[in-house]
Structure 1
């Protein structure tokens, strides 16, 4: 069943861009992702994107190792998201889509600084918005940034693009009896302790009554197929 949402915040993991040999960026994957997003925009969807930086650095993991403090490590992670966002913006432009990177961390010689009103203007003009730099603050994940920006920019839903085709009752990789949910409420997800997003992000989605679509971006699925309802996904909605 196709989703009725038109303005979507797509949350991608940085790992989605990695090459098979472990290099942080895989040009073919980037090009395929850009083509997928181009199809979605041609299908009438308005797209904003938040991409993580885990293919380059993970601030929480670095700080846990004990040799660098968490705020500094998170700042490094924010810079990693800017690198990924610029790569994705370039790929989208090459795919024929007008894209604009905006960073919560101000770096005006590299990209536009995020502000809500200009961001809304870009979306209203039909541009794909690539939102970099997380929230601009340490201790907040890119999941939280995605939900925050979705709420700010009047997005109808967040699409959390993952490695699996929805939310399951248990890990489907280790439990063949795991059941995939087609639809579940925020309250049910919390009650069943389903790890859809980190706690702060999911609490904000629940408070904002913001639907979260969970699906897989790897073939045979795609962002466009999830949004058009031709690929399996889970809808988490009030």
Structure 2
């Protein structure tokens, strides 16, 4: 059997990924499918941490655009990530995967507080750790959370599992049939071309800490395992890729 390419990873899941075809809320069948794929890679001995978004429930920036105080709107989004994290935890534990939710916001009745050393210890014991609550601060995205947590726990890669797109393109492939997919990109290319893989804060954090990103389609069954095994899927973003 092929050995995993990575020992410790961050899996970044958007909130929309948890909504399935509904587009809103939490779709149990979708959550179950994601949990099954996470279990597969955890069973390979890979240490898996997950960062969840909240776009299926609430987007702070959307609330702000409608006149809500931005900090309040962002805190609401952080709370929504906890709902998603608990749903994913439940799905994993029904499959007998030992899982912990850690949140940047204090809510001891439902989750552990985020403590870096404790998170690493859980991973070393084979537990899946789900990071919720964003960074704990408004004005930062869950992409930035993924970059920050990856740096803190020394993850080898961030797996950016996308809904409906299988990598990074020169333009939106749903709108431009001539859009070309990149196999590899440098972080500076992403920033200079405004490709929107992550927000600029998260991209810069990954670049400064040499944390590669692998962007791939979540809705293709088995892709998380393929990514872990090092198969050529999606788009890899890292330092040192030459501009063709």
Gaps of 5+ in 1: none
TM-score normalised by the chain length of structure 2: 0.92
* C-alpha displacement of 1:22: 4.5
Partner SS state of residue 33, structure 1:
helix
Q: Is the 8 A contact 1:102 1:113 kept in 2?
A: yes
Q: Counterparts of 1:189 and 1:60 in 2: how far apart (Å)?
A: 22
RMSD: 1.7
* C-alpha displacement of 1:18: 1.1
Q: For each residue in 1:128-186, what CA deviation from the matched residue of structure 2 results, as whole angstroms up to 9, or x when unmatched? A: 00000000000000000010000000100111111211111221112222221111111
* C-alpha displacement of 1:125: 0.8
Q: Counterparts of 1:232 and 1:169 in 2: how far apart (Å)?
A: 17
Q: Counterparts of 2:94 and 2:135 in 1: how far apart (Å)?
A: 27
Match of 2:187 in 1: 186
Match of 2:172 in 1: 171
Partner SS state of residue 135, structure 1:
coil
Q: For each residue in 1:21-44, what CA deviation from the matched residue of structure 2 results, as whole angstroms up to 9, or x when unmatched? A: 455011111111100100111123
* C-alpha displacement of 1:189: 2.0
Residues 190 and 22 (structure 1), Cα distance of their counterparts in 2 relative to 1, 3 Å cut: closer
Gaps of 5+ in 2: 240-244
Match of 2:242 in 1: none
Q: Counterparts of 1:124 and 1:22 in 2: how far apart (Å)?
A: 35
Q: Is the 8 A contact 1:104 1:133 kept in 2?
A: yes
Give runs of ≥4 in structure 1 deviating > 6 Å.
Answer: none
2:120 is the counterpart of 1:103: no
* C-alpha displacement of 1:5: 2.3
Matches within 5 A, 1:58-207: 58-66=59-67, 68-163=68-163, 164-207=165-208
Q: Counterparts of 1:58 and 1:121 in 2: how far apart (Å)?
A: 32
